[in-house]
Amino acid sequence: MKAYLQFFLLLLILASCNNKPNKQETTNPEQEEGYMYKGTVYNVVENELKEAYFGEQHLHTAASMDAFIAGTRLTPDDAYRFAQGEEVRVNGKPHKIHRALDWAAVTDHAEFLGEAYSLLNPEAPGHNSEAAKAMRDSPDLKTALTVYKKYVLDALAGGNAHPDFWQGYEAVKSQWQKNIEATEKNYKPGTFTTIHAYEWSSAPNTANLHRNVFFRDTNLPDMPFSANEGPSPQELWDWMIAQEKNGVKVFCNPHNPNESKGMLFPEVAMNNKPIDKAYAETRQHFERNLEMMQTKGNSEVVPDFWPNDEFADFENAVSLQKYNGRIFEKHNFVRYGLTRGVKYKEELGVNPFKYGFVGGTDSHNGVMSNVEEFNYVGHHGMADETALDRSRNEQDGEMYNRDMNPGGLTGVWATSNTREAIWDGMHNRESFATSGPRIKVRFFAGNGYQSSYDSYEEMVKDGYAKGVPMGQNYGGSETPEFLVWAIKDPIAPNLDRIQIIKGWVENGEMKDTIYNVAASENRLKPDGTVIPIDAPVNMKTGEFNKEKGAPELMAVWKDPEYNPDQNAYYYVRVIQLPTARYSLWDEIRNPDVHYPDDTKRVIQERAWASPIWIEPAK
């Protein structure tokens, strides 16, 4: 086994060598059969049924200054290598993910890219400034935080966008170029896709309005647009419009609505003008997916406002309310946002919040999709690197470490593992989020589906032929049939059930409800309720139940309350059987570590498929 540990790495390395059998240099472009990238032809598998490719779309490296100060030294190149299964050192200790990713994007903060360039490169101006030295040499978290406050927060509070060693926009461009190079270097069409991206990190009055920005190809701006240049989303879109005029293909995904203080799904824009049709059109054009879950919480719903949702109490990061006035309010959660969007559709004719779903980590350790509970080593440098730190410390100014989670994952249905196909899949919202496991979920709305199929292939072909996939509008005149299908992660427990969540507007009122549409072991009763399943986790060993549940669930479902004149959306939630949370693994492995009693030890992981909308013609 040990010798095989290295296998994964080597394969990846060889994938980049020119002598790999499925890749050859060509001088004759006419003979190209496969996928051509920068003069090389790759034999890329094309799958007409589409395949679910799993990846990371939210990650910070040492090129994000906050990550650097917390002790992260892994570069974008290191992060991409980690994503491919290679071992790197995280907080000084060797670490890796057990299964390589299919694709990944590094999203360093645009705001301090120039400072990061000075910090990381000994030859760069500003490298030996006092502040830069202090940031590099922080021996512990407390010092790091002091340094951060002194050189970053105080500078910002004083009206300076940058600490004094900032060398100007040339430094920003230089680091952006470094990130671009790492992204190019690690792209292996057909095997591993990288996407050029960054994070725009605006937080007016600590309301999180951050967006990750993704580019389709190498037609890229000289420099990313940061919140320093424009803190309002409309300024970001203006910049994106200018980029599109240059032929740049770009979209963005907001994250952490749970920290948005009402500003992500607002009634008025940041300029205090009511949301109008132009705003809605622009927003829908550029903003394609919401990050459903990441290390700082699951933003779908909270029990406070959805008391009837029995699965709402899941990684809610409740202690974030203790900081920055980010208290929970209904308008800070995804299900509200989707329903408000549908109501805007009725009011303005356009839905500004027409989002598909993605999941990410937002790790500041450079560890792409390090989402498995049993493999969690924290995401914030010195702040949460040990079990003890995770059990008792706070994430400075944000929440308790024990309320953080390893983060989510994105699955994209795409015809091939190439940059264009993955980007297009996300852009079309044919994407789904999971809380970590590699559950796959399909979702179609159409007419004429069978209640079961002899083969997977027939089911998927029918799915596309007779309807639309997740992320689209259902346009038929009859009551839609929703075809939903999910399979488990092969190393995780079986599935419990599939639910369809509906939101709609009725006489101007926003409503939502949950339908159980499939459950393992015939537990779905005619009245729509599900008999609970008893599949306990072994609290001594952390093992999950291997007997119960179903590896696959499928259903074709019709909404009994369907009204063709109502604006509505439907999305899917797949629930897995219970597993040990990282807090339990930490306690099992470290007998001296005890999380406070209110910490969950067992969770039910899940997947969320992007919505399908009903938009009746007026």
Partner 1 sequence: MKKLLKEPLVHFMLLGALIFGYYYLTNDTEAPDSAVVIDDAEYDYLLSLWKNQWQREPNEDDIKAFLDQYIRREVFYKEALVMNLDHNDIIVKRRLAQKMEAVANDLNSMIKAPSEEALKAFYDSNQDLFKLPPNYTFQQVLFLKDEQNLSDRIESSKGALSRGEAIPKNRKRKLSLPNQWDNSSLTEISKAFGGDFAEALDSLPLNQWLGPVASGFGQHVIFISEKESARTAAFEDIKPYILKEYEFQTELETQEEVYQELLDKYGVKITSEKVPTSIKESFTNP
CB closer to partner 1 out of 328 and 456 = 456
**Spatial separation of the C-alpha atoms in residues 214 and 219, rounded to whole Å:** 12
Specify the amino acid at residue 554.
Answer: M
80 sits near partner 1 (criterion: CB under 8 A):
no
Residue 59 three-state SS: strand
Exactly one of 62, 387, 487, 524 binds partner 1 (CB under 8 A); which one?
487
Exactly one of 29, 39, 122, 158 binds partner 1 (CB under 8 A); which one?
158
Q: Are 496 and 577 in contact (CB under 8 A)?
A: yes
CB closer to partner 1 out of 256 and 435 = 435
112 sits near partner 1 (criterion: CB under 8 A):
no
Q: Residue 159 CB, nearest distance to partner 1 (Å)?
A: 10
4 sits near partner 1 (criterion: CB under 8 A):
yes
Question: How many angstroms separate the Cα of 505 from the Cα of each of 343, 512, 513?
Answer: 6, 9, 12
161 sits near partner 1 (criterion: CB under 8 A):
no
222 sits near partner 1 (criterion: CB under 8 A):
no
Strands 93-95 and 552-558, bridge-based pairing: unpaired
Exactly one of 137, 457, 561, 598 binds partner 1 (CB under 8 A); which one?
457
Q: Are 402 and 175 in contact (CB under 8 A)?
A: no
Q: Are 441 and 432 in contact (CB under 8 A)?
A: yes
Contacts to partner 1 from residues 310-369, by CB under 8 A:
none
CB closer to partner 1 out of 447 and 541 = 541
Q: Residue 101 CB, nearest distance to partner 1 (Å)?
A: 9
Residue 66 three-state SS: helix
Exactly one of 63, 83, 120, 131 binds partner 1 (CB under 8 A); which one?
131
**Spatial separation of the C-alpha atoms in residues 78 and 75, rounded to whole Å:** 5
79 sits near partner 1 (criterion: CB under 8 A):
no
| Chain centre distance of CA 92 | 26
Query: Per DSSP, which regions of 142-204 are E strands?
Result: 193-194, 197-200
Contacts to partner 1 from residues 435-454, by CB under 8 A:
438, 440, 454
CB closer to partner 1 out of 101 and 197 = 101
CB closer to partner 1 out of 5 and 465 = 5
154 sits near partner 1 (criterion: CB under 8 A):
yes
242 sits near partner 1 (criterion: CB under 8 A):
no
Residue 530 per-residue DSSP state = B
Residue 117 three-state SS: helix
Q: Residue 393 CB, nearest distance to partner 1 (Å)?
A: 13
Q: Is 70 exposed, middle or buried (0-12, 13-18, 19+ CB in 10 A)?
A: buried
CB closer to partner 1 out of 187 and 453 = 453
**Spatial separation of the C-alpha atoms in residues 73 and 487, rounded to whole Å:** 37
617 sits near partner 1 (criterion: CB under 8 A):
no
Q: Are 550 and 543 in contact (CB under 8 A)?
A: no
569 sits near partner 1 (criterion: CB under 8 A):
no
184 sits near partner 1 (criterion: CB under 8 A):
no
**Spatial separation of the C-alpha atoms in residues 380 and 376, rounded to whole Å:** 11
150 sits near partner 1 (criterion: CB under 8 A):
yes
153 sits near partner 1 (criterion: CB under 8 A):
no
**Spatial separation of the C-alpha atoms in residues 542 and 551, rounded to whole Å:** 20
Q: Are 283 and 318 in contact (CB under 8 A)?
A: no
Q: Is 531 exposed, middle or buried (0-12, 13-18, 19+ CB in 10 A)?
A: exposed
CB closer to partner 1 out of 93 and 618 = 93
CB closer to partner 1 out of 60 and 162 = 162
Contacts to partner 1 from residues 521-560, by CB under 8 A:
551-552
157 sits near partner 1 (criterion: CB under 8 A):
no
Q: Which residue ranges make up the site for partner 1 (CB under 8 A)?
A: 1-4, 6-14, 17, 19, 85, 92, 98-100, 130-131, 139-140, 150-151, 154, 158, 164, 438, 440, 454-457, 487-492, 551-552
